[in-house]
Amino acid sequence: MSCANWETLLAQLQQTEVFQGLSMGALRTLSAHTEAITIAGNTSLLSPSKANHYLYILLQGEMRVVHGPSESVPIAILKPGSCCGELSWLEEQNPCAYVISNGTCELLRLDQGALNDLIQASPQLCLNLLRLLSARLRLSNQSLQNSERHANIDSLTGLFNRRRLEDIYERESGRCGYDNLPLNLLILDVDFFKDYNDQHGHIAGDFALMLVADILRRELRPTDSIARFGGEEFVILLPELSARESTSVGKRLRKRLASTTEFHCPMGTLPGVTASIGIAQMRTGDSLISLISRADRALYRAKEGGRNRLCRA
């Protein structure tokens, strides 16, 4: 890079996240070890399959950071002034994600050796890198938390899904069994849900399921666990409630749903739904499946008896 071109970049580099606050003299030491590059759109700059020995500063354009090259939702978007590649050259390991250009991008590529010398001579650069790596770690933790949350939550209703229910049952069955406390399971099935979808449409059916989820959340205790088990079925764990108490809860839920004859949603006013409910109490040695099976048989009796009613196993 020519001296004239390099000098025009110094002021710009001093505003980047990694070189902010460094003196002109310190930055000039990098001129012989820096190269300006241009990459076309949708080009992979960094990849977990290739070693990296450079720090890249994005001057113009936009780049996305993704776990896989075909992923549409990025972990992060890099704008001018951002850097990438710092983790891989600091650790001397392959990158942990893909960095791909969203369009034509102009970057500076800085050699690892010159950067290592500058790090030893510049406390400010060390501080900048520490802040940068802390931000990267925070972003990674947030991405992990979001992934775990999405893996455990039903996207339509916001309730737990079956996978999370299995984890909760392991915990609650062990705790209640150890303390000799009752644990009841309630399975709720929306009545005539196929007919509801056929008459009002599947989007209306989705809003009806969200209505059920909202009523369950408002009517139950924080210590109760609610999951959408699949389709129009919901499973509820009621720890520390006796058979009589859990039956009372089930009756209250059934009545609350039946009394909601209509509700408002973005589609307008829609009719409410009723539900049939089966309840079973945990026995010694019960798995989640065996407990659900008994509650499901009680649910079947409720349906056979005319629906919109509750039966115990």
List phi, psi (to 5°) of 36. -85, 130
Q: Is the separation of the CB atoms in 238 and 246 below 8 Å?
A: yes
Given the residues 86, 172, 232, 233, the one annotated as active site: 232
Distances (CA, A) of 218 to 226, 253, 256, 257, 275: 11, 10, 11, 12, 16
Sign, Cα dihedral of 189, 249, 170, 212: positive
Task: For residue range 195-239, list pLDDT tens digits in order.
Answer: 999 999 999 999 999 999 999 999 999 999 999 998 999 999 999
**What is the rounded CA–CA span in Å between residue 144 and residue 176?**
31
Q: Is the separation of the CB atoms in 2 and 79 below 8 Å?
A: no
- Judged by DSSP in three states, 32 sits in helix
* Residue that has been written with the tokens 């942990």 in this structure: 96
| Strand-pair partners of 63 | 78, 101
This prediction's pTM? 0.58
Task: Establish how many alpha carbons lie within 13 A of residue 239's alpha carbon, considering only the half-sphere containing its beta carbon.
Answer: 19
Per-residue tokens: 110? 């800085």
- The secondary structure element, H or E, covering residue 187 is strand 183-190
In this structure, the strands spanning 183-190 and 83-84 are: unpaired
Task: Output the tens digit of pLDDT for each of the chain's 313 residues.
Answer: 445 466 677 777 777 878 888 877 777 777 777 788 999 999 999 999 898 888 898 989 999 998 887 777 788 899 998 888 888 877 788 888 899 999 999 998 888 777 777 777 778 877 877 787 777 777 666 665 655 555 788 989 999 999 899 999 999 999 999 999 999 999 999 999 999 999 999 999 999 999 999 999 999 999 999 999 989 999 999 999 999 999 999 999 999 999 999 999 888 999 999 999 999 999 999 999 999 999 999 999 999 999 999 999 9
Q: Which residues contact 218 (CB under 8 A, 6 or more apart)?
A: none
**What is the rounded CA–CA span in Å between residue 109 and residue 219?**
59
Domains of the chain: 3-149 (2.60.120.10), 162-312 (3.30.70.270)
Residue type, 281: Q
Please say if 232 is a catalytic residue: yes
Q: Is the separation of the CB atoms in 89 and 112 below 8 Å?
A: yes
- The secondary structure element, H or E, covering residue 46 is strand 44-46
Task: For residue range 145-155, list pLDDT tens digits in order.
Answer: 655 555 788 98
Per-residue tokens: 302? 């409720």
DSSP conformational letter for 41: T
What's the chain's average pLDDT?
88
313-157-235 Cα angle (round to 5): 10
Q: Which residues contact 198 (CB under 8 A, 6 or more apart)?
A: none
